[in-house]
């Protein structure tokens, strides 16, 4: 399993806030003279294992390593690798992460795949995008862009617009914005709202609460005026619970608009149902509230931003892509131990409340790696978020699921959630089931009231 002492970037949470800011300063230094750093990683080899299409992420990583003086080997697509023969990701990274390469960047279609790669590889692993889950290096580039363009991160008002459900860049960016106490206005395509598990993580980990937003001129960037907007903030305390609409926050100035395309590779085209997607143009930005707004996009662009906007000085998406090279230079140099950071790393993820699914309880996210290739070799793991009522988050993809039954391992007995005797069962002795059939198959007796 994971080699002791190595650092991976599976999630944006793997970097502390001060570490991120320090990496920005290193990226600035690299950017001043991209050709002046070929001595940093001489003799080092990067392997880019991309099982999904990519242009900017793969090429910027490869360019970054070459500018640091290292070499690159690559798997540009899954069909050209042994994955097409059925090889597991775990086996691939164990082979490549050693004599073949000193650091890996992995892009994979299944949520949670980056965690698997990090656990099985002996060298540092960077998540280049795992399904619809996270894309932390894109987030570093996005936050670096905001930091350079706005001079700060705290207190910014940032609009996230488009496919907020399937966009992994949006999920990682939202976590980072919440951590730095920036404010988020979400304007999704109808039916493509921010997932509840992302909102729950924002609330639980960063204290981000939501209130409704007074759209005003924000309506001009939405083709379908029925699209709902929410204002999420950690810096302005609200008494309302998550998802409340009792109070409106009036937004009068926008620091950045982050547009995203429809992630059609992650859902069937029939899901669109003839809907009209938001589209940004110069006409959309005529209001005073957008006078100094920065327009961002992770690219590739399809038709959600007019080409005429490219000439507008507020459009920074191509500069945002350019920043990917020095930012990734800084990240790889750090993970390889070539530069040191004064900032302290984040606390290790607490695994005391992790549990393995010995009773058949599984994640229900069909894109989770534990429901895909991981069925062959992974035991589903969950983090206990709450005991009453029980809420379990998949360690791999983050999706939250409530069990139907809770049992006592010491007595091989279980009952429906809420049964009075369960409260007396020690947390270490509890076991969770998704159904009565699972419990019976595991050899547990089921209290009659669930039948």
pLDDT single digits (tens) 293-319 = 999 998 888 878 889 999 999 999 999
The three-class DSSP label of residue 183 is strand
Which tokens in the block code for residue 124?
């540092």
The answer to whether residues 315 and 328 belong to one domain is no
The whole-number average pLDDT for the span 92-105 is 94
Q: Is residue 144 part of a domain?
A: yes
CATH no. for residue 446? 2.30.30.20
Alpha-carbon span 26 to 97, nearest angstrom: 26
Q: How many CA atoms lie within 13 A of 269 on its CB side?
A: 0
The answer to whether residues 385 and 269 belong to one domain is no
Checking if the pLDDT of 200 tops 90, the result is no
Q: Which domain holds residue 243?
A: 137-320
How many domains, in total, are found in the chain?
Answer: 3
Checking if the pLDDT of 433 tops 50, the result is yes
The answer to whether residues 275 and 221 belong to one domain is yes
The answer to whether residues 376 and 433 belong to one domain is yes
The answer to whether residues 200 and 292 belong to one domain is yes
Last residue of some domain: 335, 365, 390?
Answer: 335
Checking if the pLDDT of 222 tops 80, the result is no
Q: 3-state SS string over 339-386?
A: CCCCCCCCCCCCCCCEEECCCCCCCCCCCEHHHCHHHHCCCCEEEEEE
Q: Is residue 77 part of a domain?
A: yes
Q: Please state, in angstroms and as integers, the Cα–Cα distance from residue 205 to each residue in 17, 191, 337, 385, following that order.
A: 13, 25, 29, 11
The answer to whether residues 313 and 397 belong to one domain is no
Last residue of some domain: 301, 335, 369?
Answer: 335
Q: Is residue 349 part of a domain?
A: no
Last residue of some domain: 264, 295, 320?
Answer: 320
Q: Is residue 341 part of a domain?
A: no
Alpha-carbon span 131 to 114, nearest angstrom: 9
Checking if the pLDDT of 44 tops 80, the result is yes
The answer to whether residues 358 and 301 belong to one domain is no
Q: Is residue 340 part of a domain?
A: no
Q: Is residue 266 part of a domain?
A: yes
The answer to whether residues 361 and 293 belong to one domain is no
Q: What confidence score (pLDDT) does residue 245 get?
A: 40
42-51, 167-176, 367-376: least confidently modelled range: 167-176
The whole-number average pLDDT for the span 117-145 is 94
Q: What confidence score (pLDDT) does residue 228 get?
A: 57
Residue 53 CB neighbour total at 10 angstroms: 13
Query: Residue 212 burial by CB count (10 A; 0-12/13-18/19+): exposed, middle or buried?
Result: middle
Checking if the pLDDT of 237 tops 80, the result is no
E strands, 141-271, in order = 157-162, 183-188, 209-214, 230-233, 248-250, 256-259
Q: What confidence score (pLDDT) does residue 301 get?
A: 83
Report whether 111 contacts 396 (CB < 8 A): yes
Q: Is residue 342 part of a domain?
A: no
Report residue 277's pLDDT band, with 50, 70 and 90 as the boundaries: low
Mean pLDDT of the chain: 84
- Is beta strand 230-233 parallel, antiparallel or unpaired with respect to 183-188? antiparallel
136-150 vs 168-179: helix crossing angle, rounded to 10: 50
The answer to whether residues 289 and 423 belong to one domain is no
Q: Is residue 78 part of a domain?
A: yes
Model pLDDT for residues 343-369, shown as the tens digit of each residue: 999 876 655 567 776 667 899 999 999
Q: What confidence score (pLDDT) does residue 126 get?
A: 97
Report residue 272's pLDDT band, with 50, 70 and 90 as the boundaries: low
The answer to whether residues 123 and 238 belong to one domain is no
Peptide bond just before 389 cis, omega within 30 deg:
yes
Report whether 113 contacts 92 (CB < 8 A): no
CATH no. for residue 299? 3.40.50.1370
The answer to whether residues 419 and 389 belong to one domain is yes
The answer to whether residues 149 and 110 belong to one domain is no
């Amino acid at each position: 399993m994971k080699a002791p002492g190595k650092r991976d970037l599976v999630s944006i949470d793997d970097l502390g806030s001060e570490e991120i800011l320090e990496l920005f300063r290193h990226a600035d230094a690299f950017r001043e003279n991209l050709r002046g750093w070929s001595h940093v990683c001489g003799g080092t080899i990067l392997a880019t294992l991309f099982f999904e299409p990519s242009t900017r992420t793969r090429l910027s990583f490869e360019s970054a390593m070459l500018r640091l003086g290292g070499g690159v080997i690559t798997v540009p697509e899954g069909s050209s690798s042994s994955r097409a023969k059925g090889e597991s990701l775990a086996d691939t990274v164990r082979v490549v992460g050693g004599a073949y390469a000193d650091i890996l960047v992995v892009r994979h279609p299944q949520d949670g795949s980056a965690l698997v790669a990090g656990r099985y590889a002996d060298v540092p692993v960077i998540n280049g995008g795992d399904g619809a889950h996270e894309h932390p290096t894109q987030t570093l580039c996005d936050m670096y862009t905001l930091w350079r363009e706005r001079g700060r991160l705290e207190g910014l008002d940032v609009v996230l617009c488009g496919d907020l459900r399937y966009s992994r860049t949006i999920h990682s960016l939202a976590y980072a914005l919440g951590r730095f106490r920036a404010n988020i206005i979400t304007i999704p395509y109808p039916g493509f709202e921010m997932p509840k598990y992302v909102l729950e993580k924002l609330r639980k980990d960063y204290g981000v609460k939501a209130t409704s937003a007074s759209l005003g001129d924000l309506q001009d960037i939405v083709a379908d005026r029925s699209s709902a907007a929410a204002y999420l903030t950690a810096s302005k305390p609200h008494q309302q619970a998550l998802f409340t609409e009792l109070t409106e926050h009036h937004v009068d100035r926008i620091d950045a608009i982050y547009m995203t395309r429809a992630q059609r590779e992650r859902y069937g085209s029939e899901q669109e149902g003839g809907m009209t997607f938001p589209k940004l143009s110069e006409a959309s930005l005529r209001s005073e509230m957008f006078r100094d707004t920065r327009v961002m996009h992770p690219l590739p662009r399809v038709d959600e931003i007019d080409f005429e906007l490219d000439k507008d000085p507020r459009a920074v998406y191509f500069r945002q892509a350019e920043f990917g090279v020095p930012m990734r230079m800084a990240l790889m140099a750090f993970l390889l131990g070539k530069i040191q950071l004064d900032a302290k790393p984040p606390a290790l993820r607490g695994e005391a409340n992790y549990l393995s699914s010995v009773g058949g309880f599984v994640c229900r996210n069909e894109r989770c790696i534990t429901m895909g290739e991981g069925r062959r070799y992974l035991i589903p793991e969950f983090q206990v978020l709450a005991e009453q009522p029980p809420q379990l988050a998949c360690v791999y993809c983050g999706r939250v699921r409530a069990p139907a039954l809770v049992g006592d391992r010491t007595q091989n007995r279980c009952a429906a959630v809420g049964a009075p005797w369960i409260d007396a069962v020690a947390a270490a002795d509890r076991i969770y089931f998704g159904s009565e059939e699972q419990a019976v198959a595991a050899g547990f007796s089921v209290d009659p009231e669930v039948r």
